[in-house]
């Protein structure tokens, strides 16, 4: 999800000036560790500010992308994923007028899921993902682990103070579904559903960037 978040921030400077956006990561697991991932980046509440920003040549010495460049960047990411082994049923959509981006695909195992995330990343980040793994699923111990090994605080600290405040209205939501009941979760902010087969975590982007809260979690299932 980090790279998809960075794609949203990849609209580069645009995000830092719009503030109000939502990133949702949904993963549904099967008993064998395969599953489906859906990722949505919704910037529709900030479309007026985005449109105004896109009229500029640059912001904070960073080039502002055009709508075509944004679409091409997203399409290139999807094209790379389509070439990956272990990935099926790839679907994507762009509503460039509302600034809503979606991507979904089936994966054979968690290693493949990590590869999907790696394909969205820089060469340096790819190596970090290979080393640390953002997703892990231990079938023997029936444990799912969501990790996060990036520090975006330094990048955000270089922006203007007023721009940083705009992240207060932005949210990051993770939803994980399992074929059996959830026994425990290490992240106290996460909420388990009534049927105990799904868990949701909703955080502000500002808290994640400031390291006040984390999307990290270890989930034990029956």
What are the phi and psi torsion angles at 33 (to 5°)? 95, -5
pLDDT, position 213: 81
For 102-150, the pLDDT digits (tens) are 999 999 999 898 887 776 665 566 566 666 678 999 988 999 999 876 5
| Domain that includes residue 22, residue range | 2-221
68-75: long-range contacts at Cβ-Cβ below 8 A with a sequence spacing of 24 or more? 70/11, 70/96, 71/96, 73/7, 73/10, 74/7, 74/101
Q: Which SS3 state, helix, strand or coil, does residue 77 take?
A: helix
Measured CA to CA in angstroms, residue 87 lies from 41, 80, 178 at distances of 21, 11, 19
Measured CA to CA, the distance from residue 181 to residue 12 in angstroms comes to: 40
Report pLDDT for 87. 94
- Cα(173)–Cα(203) distance, rounded to whole angstroms? 6
Report pLDDT digits (tens) over 146-194: 987 655 555 555 555 555 565 667 888 999 999 999 999 999 999 999 9
**Domains identified in the chain, total number:** 1
pLDDT, tens digit (0-9, with 9 covering 90-100), for 127-136: 666 666 789 9
DSSP 88: E
Q: How many residues does the chain have?
A: 222
């Amino acid at each position: 999800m980090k790279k998809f978040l960075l794609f949203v921030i990849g609209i580069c400077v645009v995000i830092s000036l719009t503030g109000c956006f939502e990133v949702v990561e949904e993963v549904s697991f099967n008993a064998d560790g395969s599953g489906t991932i859906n990722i949505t980046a919704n910037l529709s509440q900030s479309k007026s500010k985005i449109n105004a920003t896109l009229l500029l040549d640059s912001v904070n010495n960073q080039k502002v992308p055009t709508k075509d460049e944004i679409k091409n960047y997203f399409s290139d990411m999807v094209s790379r994923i389509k070439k990956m082994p272990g990935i099926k049923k790839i679907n994507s959509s762009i509503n460039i007028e509302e600034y809503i981006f979606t991507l979904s695909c089936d994966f054979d195992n968690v290693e493949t899921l990590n590869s999907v995330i790696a394909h969205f990343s820089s060469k340096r980040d790819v190596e970090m993902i290979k080393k640390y793994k953002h997703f892990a699923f231990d079938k023997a111990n029936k444990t799912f682990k969501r990790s996060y090994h990036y520090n975006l605080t330094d990048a955000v600290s270089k922006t203007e103070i007023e721009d940083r405040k705009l992240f207060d209205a932005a949210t990051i939501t993770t939803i994980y579904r399992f074929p059996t009941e959830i026994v425990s979760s290490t992240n106290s902010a996460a909420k388990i559903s009534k049927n105990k087969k799904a868990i949701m975590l909703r955080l502000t982007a500002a808290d994640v960037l400031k390291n006040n809260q984390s999307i990290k979690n270890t989930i034990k299932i029956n």
